[in-house]
C-alpha cells in the first residue's frame, strides 16, 4: 500500500480574527491542495464562519479544524495519529501535553519525531534572510534536546516566500469587475474605486476630506469591522458629518458585508487602489498588482516604523508613495500628500512580477520539511 501523505499540525492563536487565522487557514488549505494533510488547531475559530465557511463545516478535503483549549486535553489525542510536522504559527507555543504525547508516541513506535517549525511573522527587514531556516535547540520541557526550525516568509529568494495558490493567476485573469460589483450591490458608474481594510489610521479623516474635495469621483468600498467603525467615527467626530451619509462631494461610500477569502481577493482585483492592513491582506494586495497602501500592525514600541520602512525599500516605492505611507500610519508630522495611483501603478506591477518569479511559501515549506525528515 502507498504511504499516507504527510500529516501537518498547525497551531494558531487568534489575535484580531483576521490576519493570523487567515494566514493559517490559507496555508492549511494550500498544503491539502498539494497532497498533504493538515489539522488546524485554533483557540477561536469563530471568524471562519465568514472567512472560510467551507472549512468550518469540514468541506475541504485534507483539512480538519480542531479546537485548541487550555488546559489542553491530552486525552483528546488518544486515537489521533501523531503528525509528521508541527507548525507553531506566529510565536504561539505548542501545549506541553501535546508535545509530550507526540514525543512519547514517536519513541514507542520507533518513528522519527515530527519536524518542528516556528512559522514567523512576515517582514522585509534584513534579519529575515539571516534567520530563515536556522535551528533553535529545545532546552527544556518534554522535547528537550530536540530542534525547532525558524521559517520566515518573505519577499526575496533567500526567504520562505509568500502564500500563492497555483490557480490564482487564472482566477484573476478571468475576473469580471463589473459583474462582481453588481453582484455585491455596489452602484458603480465608472468612478475610481478604493478598498479600505485598516485599523484606525491617524490620517483617515484627512483621506476622507481629500477624496470628497478631489477632482475625481471616487467610491470607497469599506470592509466590515474595524474599518467601517473607523470611517463612521471619523465622519461623526472629526468631520462633523453624520455616519449614515454615503455621498459627500466627490466621495461615495459603500459599506460591505464580511467577505470570505475568495471574495476579498476579488475586492482587491476590482479596485484601483487598495488600503490594507497586517499580513494576509498585504500579500493578497501584492498579488492583485494594483497600487496599495499598507498599514502594519501598530506596536507600542513603534517597531512597525522600521517594518514599514524596510518594506517600502523592498517595494522600491517612489517618494510620493513613501510620504503617503508615513502620514497614513502617523510616522512624523508631515500632512497626507495627494493620492496619486497613476504614479504608483508601475511600482505595484513590478513588485508583483518580481514575486511571481519566486517560489511560493507552501512549495518551499514542503521542500524544507522533506529535507529535515
Question: Which domains does the chain possess?
Answer: 7-162+359-372 (3.40.50), 168-356 (3.40.50)
SS3 assignment, position 85: strand
Q: Hunting for cell 527587514 — which residue is that?
A: 125
What tens digit of pLDDT does each residue of 338-357 get? 999 999 999 999 999 999 99
Report angle CA 228, 317, 266 to the nearest 5 degrees.
40
SS3 assignment, position 340: coil
pLDDT at 2: 63
Report angle CA 151, 294, 304 to the nearest 5 degrees.
60
Report angle CA 223, 323, 315 to the nearest 5 degrees.
75
Q: What is the greatest pairwise CA distance in the chain? A: 72
| pLDDT, block means (10 residues), the chain with 373 residues | 85 83 96 97 93 86 94 84 95 92 86 93 97 96 94 98 97 98 95 97 96 96 95 74 68 94 97 96 98 93 94 98 97 95 97 98 98 92
20 is catalytic: yes
DSSP state of 236: I
Q: What distance in Å separates the CA atoms of residue 201 and residue 223, rounded to the nearest whole number?
A: 14
Q: What distance in Å separates the CA atoms of residue 21 and residue 29, rounded to the nearest whole number?
A: 12
Q: What distance in Å separates the CA atoms of residue 155 and residue 263, rounded to the nearest whole number?
A: 24
pLDDT at 244: 45
pLDDT at 280: 95
265 is catalytic: no
Phi, psi of 155 (to 5 degrees): -105, 0
pLDDT at 1: 54
pLDDT at 371: 96
Grid coordinates of 2? 502507498
SS (H, E, C) 200-213: CCCCHHHHHHHHHH
SS (H, E, C) 272-303: CEEEEECCHHHHHHHHHCCCEEEECCCCCCCH
Q: Hunting for cell 458585508 — which residue is that?
A: 257
What tens digit of pLDDT does each residue of 246-293 get? 888 999 999 999 999 999 999 999 999 999 999 999 999 999 999 999
pLDDT at 91: 87
Q: What distance in Å separates the CA atoms of residue 1 and residue 54, rounded to the nearest whole number?
A: 31
Catalytic one of 279, 280, 341, 360: 279
Q: What distance in Å separates the CA atoms of residue 193 and residue 19, rounded to the nearest whole number?
A: 24
Are the C-beta atoms of 12 and 66 separated by less than 8 Å?
no
What tens digit of pLDDT does each residue of 128-168 get? 999 999 999 999 999 999 999 999 999 999 999 999 999 99
Catalytic one of 20, 88, 120, 341: 20
Q: Hunting for cell 500610519 — which residue is that?
A: 329
Q: What distance in Å separates the CA atoms of residue 288 and residue 174, rounded to the nearest whole number?
A: 13
Instruction: Give per-residue burial for 101-119: e unless 16+ CB within 10 Å, then b.
Output: bbbebeeeeeeebbbbbbb
Are the C-beta atoms of 350 and 342 separated by less than 8 Å?
no
pLDDT at 238: 55
Computed from CA positions of residues 50, 185, 328, 131, in that sequence, does the dihedral angle turn out positive or negative? positive
pLDDT at 243: 46
Task: Give the list of residues 6+ apart from residue 64 with CB closer than 8 angstroms, or none.
Answer: 38, 39, 40, 58
Q: What distance in Å separates the CA atoms of residue 274 and residue 25, rounded to the nearest whole number?
A: 22
In this structure, the strands spanning 37-42 and 63-67 are parallel
Amino acid at each position: 500500500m502507498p504511504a499516507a501523505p504527510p500529516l501537518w499540525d498547525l497551531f494558531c492563536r487568534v489575535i484580531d480574527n483576521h490576519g493570523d487565522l487567515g494566514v493559517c487557514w490559507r496555508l492549511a488549505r494550500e498544503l491539502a491542495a498539494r497532497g498533504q494533510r493538515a489539522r488546524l488547531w485554533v483557540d477561536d475559530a469563530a471568524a471562519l464562519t465568514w472567512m472560510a465557511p467551507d472549512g468550518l463545516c469540514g468541506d475541504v478535503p485534507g483539512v480538519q479544524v480542531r479546537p485548541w483549549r487550555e488546559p489542553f486535553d491530552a486525552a483528546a489525542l488518544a486515537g489521533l495519529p501523531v503528525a509528521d510536522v508541527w507548525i507553531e504559527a506566529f510565536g504561539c507555543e505548542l501545549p506541553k501535553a501535546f508535545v509530550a504525547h507526540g514525543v512519547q508516541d514517536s519513541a514507542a513506535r520507533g518513528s522519527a519525531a515530527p519536524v518542528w517549525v516556528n512559522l514567523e511573522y512576515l517582514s522585509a527587514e534584513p534579519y529575515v534572510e539571516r534567520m530563515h531556516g536556522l535551528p533553535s535547540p529545545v532546552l527544556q520541557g518534554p522535547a528537550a534536546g530536540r530542534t525547532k526550525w525558524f521559517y520566515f516568509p518573505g519577499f526575496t529568494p533567500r526567504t520562505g516566500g509568500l502564500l500563492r495558490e497555483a490557480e490564482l493567476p487564472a482566477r484573476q485573469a478571468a475576473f469580471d469587475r463589473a459583474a462582481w460589483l453588481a453582484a455585491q450591490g455596489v452602484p458603480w458608474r465608472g468612478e475610481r474605486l478604493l478598498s479600505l481594510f485598516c485599523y484606525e489610521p491617524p490620517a483617515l479623516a484627512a483621506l476622507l476630506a481629500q477624496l470628497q474635495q478631489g477632482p475625481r469621483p471616487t467610491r470607497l468600498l469599506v470592509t466590515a469591522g474595524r474599518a467601517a467603525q473607523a470611517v463612521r467615527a471619523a465622519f461623526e467626530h472629526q468631520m462633523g458629518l453624520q455616519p449614515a451619509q454615503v455621498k459627500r462631494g466627490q466621495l461615495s461610500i459603500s459599506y460591505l458585508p464580511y467577505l470570505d477569502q475568495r471574495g476579498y481577493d476579488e475586492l482587491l482585483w476590482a479596485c484601483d487602489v487598495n488600503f490594507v492592513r497586517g499580513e494576509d491582506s498585504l500579500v493578497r494586495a501584492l498579488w492583485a498588482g494594483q497600487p496599495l497602501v499598507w498599514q502594519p500592525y501598530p506596536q507600542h514600541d513603534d517597531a512597525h516604523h522600521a517594518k514599514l520602512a524596510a518594506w517600502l525599500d523592498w517595494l522600491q516605492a517612489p517618494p510620493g508613495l513613501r510620504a503617503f505611507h508615513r502620514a497614513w500610519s502617523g510616522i512624523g508630522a508631515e500632512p497626507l500628500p495627494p493620492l496619486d495611483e497613476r504614479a504608483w501603478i508601475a511600482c505595484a506591477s513590478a513588485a508583483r512580477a518580481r514575486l511571481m518569479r519566486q517560489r511560493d511559501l507552501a512549495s518551499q515549506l514542503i521542500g524544507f520539511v522533506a529535507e529535515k525528515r
